[in-house]
Amino acid sequence: MDHLAEYRRWLESDVFDRETKRELKSLSDAEIEDRFYQELSFGTGGLRGIVGAGPNRMNFYTVGRATQGLADYINERTKEGSAVIAYDSRYMSAEFALDTACILAANGIKAYLFGSLRPTPELSFAVRFHHATAGIVITASHNPPAYNGYKVYWSDGGQIVPPRDREIIERIGTTAYGDIRRIGKTEAEKRGLLVLLGEETDRAYLDAVKALSLSPEAVMRQGKKLKIVYTPLHGTGNLPVRRVLAEMGFEHVFVVPEQELPDPAFTTLAYPNPEDPAAFLRALALARKKDADLVLATDPDADRLGVYARTKSGGYVRFTGNMSGLLIAEYVLSRRREKGLLPKAGDGAIVTTVVSSEMAYPIAEEYGLKVVGTLTGFKYIGEQIEKFERAREKFGRTDGSVGAYAFEFGFEESYGCLAGTYARDKDAVAAVMLLCEAAAYYAEQGLTLPDQMERMYRKYGYYAEELGTETAAGAGGAERIQRAMQAIRQNPPETLGHCRVTGVTDYLAENTGLPKSNVLRFALENGWCCVRPSGTEPKIKFYIGANGDRDGAEERMKAVKRDLLRLTGFEV
């Protein structure tokens, strides 16, 4: 794209408003290049970018174009389309959500719009609850404050996946900014094409979450004793998380006051991500003051959960996303087995991603389940749930031999999990409830959550896992990341961290049974690693896992990481 020619077009076209042009005229040469060297691409999940004017930014034109293309796609496939729209606490989220609803309404599509911010998993639930054709959530999840995003869901409640994602992308690609049709909110409501959602949907969602409970009797006893510190990190989790914990019977929940209310600037945080230990500084300080047992944080759209848990000696242990997901899985599966709720051996499944912990395999074996692996992104886990359901409908039974599995649990290393089929995306509200219930259940046995994690290591073996990320921003960043991927793809190593490479899987070049993706996975002696570009940020990601004795696994993991950074040109 000729960035200067496109810049002049935005300044000269009647399509763009005066305020947009005023902002564009104030830009430096470097800012002009960054905003106009490419269009903000509608990827396989939607849009994600910095808020501002220009084609490489999130604004009413880029969001409107995506919505108009989606509306055309819906209308080409159904006569009475509808969509649910939710949004988080970021800059312009409410404005983008209302504009999206008004564009859909102008195209004859009924828009169900939440009247205030809601978690992403509730949007996934609401699409199914209201039998909508599609869903849209305005969120940039855990990205820095300058970002916002736009994710699209389909009628099953899951994010769009191949081939539908490519079809929608193609339809948006044929849409011009001048094609966007809008009507006002009042007109949309008058035509019955804009409906505001509230308590009815909230109540149904929370009831679905609470239906996952497996140890209400333990909560009844321990809920009066356990102390929980929680921070929503200025996001959407505050009200639903506190509400579900209160309804379950947890009486001592302390919310970090400085991070309780929505704040698009995320003033108390450099990075609103529960994966980042820095996000817990205030929560841990409050936990020490309150002598809390659990310290929990949800990201701005409340689909990811970060955890610290107190040991018997009084310190706090950080749980990775793999650790918290596996601990919840072990709790859920063991309790379901005790209650006779698991399917017969071979008929149920755990669904996880190719970059998540391999401890999933011995856990699945323990409970007679199959592990189904997917690409990175919870949308692929949601897709498997839908496939399982279609297979059960086809064969009229649950039968793993024909792919008609019962979905028992899904998790990914990036701090997300799902224990039911009421939604098709990771749900931190449910994860909070189940983790707190697990803490109550194990407290009845005299165990803390760190104690239970150690029990799992003794039972299944020790697994060390780490995620490393390197940022390469700007116009040249994407090229640098692609060069790094190409270098390691063309010259795959024979050893990594003194471990022999026993196999290489290239998910872009090989037929793996999964959609093509720019991911390389290396099988190692007593471990594995993956390299891939981020789908939402200018980053390259390195996933490393090792198992065996604790000291040896930790050292191998660090050595593998050093080699990966060197081979891709990102070593310091």
Count of helix runs (H) and strand runs (E) in the chain: 19, 21
d(CA 45, CA 382): 13
Q: Which residues pair with 399 in a beta bridge?
A: 404
**Contact (Cβ atoms closer than 8 angstroms) between residue 62 and residue 47:** yes
Q: Tokens 């848990």 sit at which residue?
A: 309
d(CA 121, CA 419): 12
Would you call 417 helix, strand, or coil by DSSP? strand
Cβ neighbours, 10 Å, residue 389: 16
Say if strands 194-197 and 227-231 run parallel, antiparallel, or are unpaired: unpaired
Question: How many residues are listed for the chain in this entry?
Answer: 572
Among candidate residues 82, 124, 141, 324, the one labeled active-site is 141
d(CA 144, CA 342): 41
Residue 500's H or E segment, with its range, is: strand 499-506
96's torsion region: left (phi>0), alpha (psi -120 to 50) or beta? Answer: alpha
CA distances 464 to 300, 493, 526, 557, Å, are: 28, 22, 11, 7
**Contact (Cβ atoms closer than 8 angstroms) between residue 118 and residue 198:** no
**Contact (Cβ atoms closer than 8 angstroms) between residue 125 and residue 131:** no
Q: Is 116 a catalytic residue?
A: no
Cis amide linkage into residue 240, ω under 30° from 0: no
Which amino acid does the sequence have at 67? T
The strand order across the sheet containing 227-231 reads 252-255, 227-231, 294-298, 305-310, 316-319
**CA trace torsion 324, 327, 332, 333 (10° rounding):** 130
Would you call 97 helix, strand, or coil by DSSP? helix
Residue 496's H or E segment, with its range, is: strand 495-496
Chain-centroid distance of CA 32 in Å reads 31
Which amino acid does the sequence have at 74? I
d(CA 136, CA 100): 9
Angle at 226 between CA 222 and CA 232, to 5 degrees: 130
Closest by CA position to 356, among listed 541, 103, 88: 541
Give the residue numbers annotated as catalytic, written as ranges.
141
